[in-house]
Structures are given as C-alpha cells and as structure tokens.
Amino acid sequence: MKHLVSLLLFVLLTDKYEGAKILGVFILCGKSHYHLGNSLMRGLAEAGNDVTMISPFEDKDPTENGSYRNVVLTGIADGYEDHLKRLNLFGGNDFNSFTHIVGFHKSVYSQVKRAFDHPNVQKLLNSNEQFDAVIIEQFSNDALQVLPHHFNAHFIAFSPVGSYYTVNNMVGNPTMTSYTPGFITTFSRDMSLFQRIYNTLLHLSQCFLEYFVLLDKYEKLLTEYFPSAPSIYDLHFNASLVLLNSHESLGQPVPLVPNMINIGGFHVKPPKVLPVDLQRYLDEAEDGVVLLSFGSNLRMHNMDEGKRNALVNALGKLKQRVLWKWESGYDFELPPNIKRVNWIPQMDVLAHPNVKLFVTHGGLLSQTETIYNGVPVLVIPVFGDQAMNANNAVYDGYGLSLSYHDPQFGEAKLTAVLEKLLSEPRYQENAKRVSRLYHDRYMTPMETAVYWVDYVIRHHGAPHLRVAGVKLPWYKYCLLDVFGVIVISFGLVIISLVFLLKCILKVFQNRKTATKLKGS
Ligand SMILES: *[C@@H]1O[C@H](CO)[C@@H](O)[C@H](O)[C@H]1NC(C)=O
Ligand SMILES: *[C@@H]1O[C@H](CO)[C@@H](O)[C@H](O)[C@H]1NC(C)=O
C-alpha cells in the first residue's frame, strides 16, 4: 500500500508539465516578423512555459498560463515607420538583385550590433540568468547564435520563409536548385534550363557570400563582444531544431531532415467577432465582397498613380463590394462600390462567407490566412518572396497572378483576370480543397511547435536527430572529392587507352612498311 501511494505520488509529480525557460530573439522591425515571433513565443507561454522575448516592440497583454516577459529594444523601431514611408517598396524590381542582398546583409549587421549594445540586452547578458532553449529568427543575423551558448541553452532557429539555403546549410538539409526556386526569384517549380542555371548560380553565390563574407564579419564582431565564445562556424552549425513557417498546403513539398519541422500557420488565430459596421457591410453584400490589402509594408501612396487608377477602375466595374485597405494619401473620389479603410482585421474578414476574392501582394502571412479560410486570390507580387508565393497559388489552382511590374499591368488585363476569378467556380473549389489540406494535420501548427521545443529540451538538444552531413566540410558534403577521383580516374583510363592504341598502330604501321619494303 505504501509503495502504491508513493508510486502514485511519483506519477502525479512527474506527470505535471514543468514549464521550461525559453528566450525568443526576434530583432527585426518589420511588423510581420514581429507578429510571427510574438505569436510563437506567446503560444509557448500559454502552453505553460516561462518565456522571455527580445524584440523591438512590447506585448503588454497578460498571459493566461506561463509567463511572458518583454526585453524591449527601445528606440530601435523609432523612425522605422518614416523609413517605410520613404522607402518606396513599389519602386522597382531591383529588390531581388544581388546588390540588394549585400545591402540587406549590411543593414542586418548594424541591427545586430545595436541589439548587442542595447542596455536592456546588456542587462540580460550580465544577469547570470540561464535558459533551456533560445529561439532565434534566422535572417542573416548569425552573430545572435552566440546567445544559446551564452545562456547555456539549446539553439532553436526559426525561419520566417520556410526552408531556404541558410537554414538548410545549418542542419545539412539539401537545397535542390533543380526544382526549388530561390525565394527571391520569380521562377515556378518547373524551371527551364536557363532558369535552373540562374537559380543554381544565385544559390552558390548566396552561400559563398554568407559563408565567407557574412560569417567572417560576425566572427570578428563576436571576438569584440564575446571574447570567450566558440567560433561562429561552430555555433552556426549547432542548431538542435529549425522551426519552419511553411507547410505543404502553403507551398511546394521539399525534403526536410528530421530536425526541421513545419509549423506554417501557427500565427493564425481562429476568426473573432467583427466590428458591428464591418459585419453589416459584409452581411449586406448580396453579390459578395472583394478584399484588397497590400499588407503592412507596402504603402498605397507609393503605388504608381497609373497602376493605382487601373486597379480602381477595374474594381469599380465589379458588381461586388470592394473593401480596400488604404492607410493614407487618399485624395480623390472612389467608385461607389469601393470602401476604403485604414486598417482591416484581415483574418476575421476573410472568414466571412460573403468574401469571394482576396486581392493581395502575396505575403506569406496573407497567403496563409487566405488558405486557412479557403478564399481564392488575385496575387499582385511586388518584391521578395511574393512572386514565389504567387506561383504556388497559380500552381495549386486557387488563384491567378499579375505582377505589379508586368508591362501588361493595366485596366484591361486586370478586368479580364478579375472577371475570370469571380466567374469560374474552379478557383473557389481549389481554394476549399487546399484549405482542407491545410487543416488536416494530426496536431495544430502551434501544438506542433510547443511539442518540438519541449522535445528538444527533454532530449538534451536531441543530437540523435542531426544528420551526419552537418559535420562534413562542404566539398565532401557535395561529393566533390568523390567526383574528382572518378573524373581523374576516368581521364587516366582514357589517356592510357589512347596511348595503347597509338602504340598498336605504330607496330602495325612498322610491319606494313616492312612488308612493303620486302615486296619491292
Ligand atoms: C492554459 O492551461 C489550461 C490547462 O492546462 C488549458 O486548458 C488552457 O487551454 C490554457 N490556455 C491557453 C490560452 O492556452
Ligand atoms: C551545441 O549544442 C549542444 C546541444 O544543445 C550543446 O550541448 C553544446 O554546448 C553546443 N555547442 C556549442 C559550441 O555551442
């Protein structure tokens, strides 16, 4: 009996979920990046963990379970709004170019330095506090990878764009440039020979730039800030887990090593009740509603006037109501069916059954929300990964794409595309089909994230999930040494054969001359 009681007590005590101490590091100022980080860390807190979050913004809402502490990078986001207003992201295609990548690296480098210098971060660094796991948003900010080491914690990386070359390299996952277009290209998964050459060269140069230039710069930065830390090249390849903001329903399927986990959609909350006036506006739309939003970074007043008018005119001709997110710089008459709003509870509007179409820039978050609700899309990609997301929507048949930079972008083309999307039922059907695939998972994406973070802590960094390839030097990983030996051996065999053939020919020829001489 006594044994039974102690056994029962033991079971009760050990079965109780012990929350872990988890640090989140999301230093980018972009609203969508913060939104992802905040959702993930809040989810981990609600699951009973003790969460600390380093980010440019503050989340003051109390949590029901666990705890959520902000370490705010005060001042870092100041001026970012003005910067966005000035920075015309509609401006041109060169955001996808190689020079832009270099510029982006430079800007992130200075953000990392500012984060290290920040008094709130310094206070945490000098606090002797320890964590069980540190989750870092991976976006060219590799010096932050010293933090798991500093806090004696397991390193978990979070990729906002799913699997891509950096996180792939970190855990030894293949990047198949034969069928996975780089996320800044405009290619679809069926690439021509030229596109595959371009895609491969882009990939190689990005890897080169990151490995030999960026990491080298961060190595020097670390010797300045963390003199006793291991080399960045050791820290970089030591991630226990990579959480990917992706899922097969949101993009194409790709190979993933065991410690890469899809959690795409974790930031989406079930729809909430709409504000009364918006609810009425949507309810009363007999012919349905078209929702239009270019996300949080693109500003309507930066849009080319001709293209904006084309869009207004094409949408003005529809019988549907149009709800347009338009922040500022609004100074002219809109057609009667278009309603302009400063801000939209996008997720909750998309959930309304009268919403027939979503005109979007194709940001991954918007794309996820539209799939959650099974709403077809017209994607107007502008920069970054948007063209890739647009291609996925076209491939899966729940949308059409018309690039903002397409020379054909005009009223006639837009009218035709809108007409097609609103009249043909297959777009709606495919949106519903992909939505079913999105929802059909054995755990919700947030539960998946919570489970795997806990798993890594339970199993002390889960080294058993790491593929051996992560320890190999790159030339061995790519089998360059093997191919080298094969090519050289093959060459030697050919050379020997040629030599042998020449000898035989010579002997033959000598004999011929000899017989000729004899005969004459
Ligand atoms: C808080 O924990 C309780 C009990 O474990 C759970 O039922 C509830 O869903 C949690 N709340 C949230 C917001 O996750
Ligand atoms: C690599 O990760 C493991 C598991 O989290 C940890 O024990 C080890 O100290 C880390 N190595 C370095 C160099 O940080």
Contact between 240 and 259 (Cβ < 8 Å): yes
The pLDDT value recorded for residue 11 is 46
Q: How far is the CA of 114 from the centre of ligand 2 (A)?
A: 25
Q: What is the pLDDT of residue 370?
A: 95
Q: Cα of 156 to ligand 1 centre, how many Å? A: 24
CA distances from 425 to 7, 292, 391, 430 (A): 61, 20, 20, 9
Q: How many domains does the chain have?
A: 3
Count CB neighbours of 205 within 10 A.
12
Ligand 1 and 447: CB distance under 6 A: no
Q: Which atom of ligand 2 is nearest to the CA of 154?
A: 5
**Is the pLDDT assigned to residue 100 strictly greater than 80?**
no
Q: Is residue 226 part of a domain?
A: no
Distance CA 379, CA 295 (A): 12
Indicate if ligand 1 lies below 6 Å from the C-beta of 65. yes
- The percent of residues above 90 in pLDDT, for the chain, comes to 68
**Nearest atom (ligand 1) to Cα of 43:** 14
Written as one string, the DSSP assignment of 417-465 is: HHHHHHH-HHHHHHHHHHHHHHH--SS-HHHHHHHHHHHHHHTTT-GGG
Domain match, 164 and 42 both: yes
299 pLDDT exceeds 90? Answer: no
Residue 338 and residue 251 in one domain: no
**Residue 210 is assigned to a structural domain of this protein:** no
Rounded average pLDDT over 353-373: 93
How close is the Cα of 154 to the center of ligand 2, in Å?
7
Contacts of 154 (CB under 8 A, 6+ apart): 132, 133, 134, 148, 240, 241, 456, 457, 460, 461
Same domain, residue pair 290 and 156: no
Tell me the residue length of the chain.
Answer: 520
Is 34 in a helix, a strand, or coil? helix
Q: Where in 86-224 does DSSP place strands (E)?
A: 133-137, 154-159
Confidence (pTM): 0.89
The pLDDT of residue 147: 97
| Pair (449, 403) in one structural domain | no
| pLDDT of amino acid 16 | 45
Lowest-confidence region among 155-164, 399-408, 418-427: 399-408
Q: What are phi and psi of 381, to 5 degrees?
A: -70, 145
In a domain, 500, yes or no: yes
Q: What is the pLDDT of residue 88?
A: 67
- Integer Cα distance of 484 and 101 in angstroms: 32
Which residue of 50, 51, 65 sits with most ligand 1 atoms within 8 Å of its CB, as the best mutation to test the pocket? 65
- Going by C-alpha positions, the residue among 322, 325, 314, 317 that lies closest to residue 347 is 325
Let me know whether 252 and 387 are in one domain. no
Ligand 2: nearest atom to the Cα of 238: 1
| Mean pLDDT value across the chain | 90
Are 267 and 371 in contact by the 8 Å Cβ rule? The answer is no
The alpha carbon dihedral of 238, 244, 248, 254 has a sign of: negative
Pick from 134-138, 362-366, 394-398, 491-495: least confident: 362-366
Both 423 and 484 in one domain: the answer is no
CA-closest residue to ligand 2 atom 9: 149
Domain CATH number, residue 454? 3.40.50.2000
In a domain, 313, yes or no: yes
298 has a pLDDT exceeding 70: yes
Q: Tell whether 398 is covered by a domain.
A: yes
Specify the ligand 2 atom closest to the Cα of 234.
13
Say which ligand is closest to the CA of 64.
1
199 Cα to the center of ligand 2, angstroms: 33
> Closest ligand 1 atom, CA of 17?
5
**Does one domain contain both 49 and 80?**
yes
More confidently predicted of 297 and 2: 297
Helix (H) or strand (E) holding 356: strand 355-360
458 plus 487 within the same structural domain: no
Residues with CB under 6 A from ligand 2: 149, 154, 230, 234-235, 238, 240, 461
Ligand showing the shortest atom-to-Cα distance for residue 156: 2
For CA atoms 244, 245, 248, 254, the dihedral sign is negative
What separation in angstroms does the CA of 429 have from each of 281, 374, 426? 25, 9, 5
Q: Whose CA is nearest to atom 3 of ligand 1?
A: 65
Domain identity same for 47 and 137: yes
Tell me what pLDDT residue 330 has. 66
Residue 376 domain-assigned? yes
69 plus 165 within the same structural domain = yes
Residue 457 located in a structural domain:
yes
Q: pLDDT of 147-190, one tens digit each?
A: 999 999 999 999 999 999 999 999 999 999 999 998 778 888 89
pLDDT digits (tens, 9 = 90+) for 479-509: 999 999 999 999 999 999 999 999 999 998 8
CA atoms within 13 A on the CB side of 199: 24
Q: Whole-angstrom Cα distance, residue 237 to residue 449?
A: 21
Q: How far is the CA of 49 from the centre of ligand 1 (A)?
A: 11
Q: Which tokens hold the place of 282?
A: 């949507």
Q: Integer distance in angstroms from the first to the last C-alpha of the chain? A: 120
Residues 323 and 251 grouped into a single domain: no
**How far is it, in rounded angstroms, from Cα 373 to Cα 357?**
11
What's the gap in Å between 444 CA and the centre of ligand 1?
15
Ligand 2 atom closest to the Cα of residue 155 is: 5
Domain region containing 487: 479-509
Looking at the structure, tell me whether residues 308 and 420 fall in a common domain.
yes
Query: How would you class 86 by CB atoms within 10 Å of its CB: exposed for 0-12, middle for 13-18, buried for 19 or more?
Result: exposed
Is pLDDT at 93 greater than 80 in this prediction? no
Ligand 1 probe mutation, 39, 46, 61, most atoms within 8 A of CB? 46
pLDDT tens digits for range 212-254: 999 999 999 999 999 999 999 999 999 999 999 999 999 899 9
Let me know if residue 212 belongs to a domain. Answer: no
Each residue's pLDDT tens digit, 312-353? 999 999 999 999 888 776 667 788 898 888 888 999 999 999
The number of the ligand 2 atom at minimal distance from the alpha carbon of 153 is 5
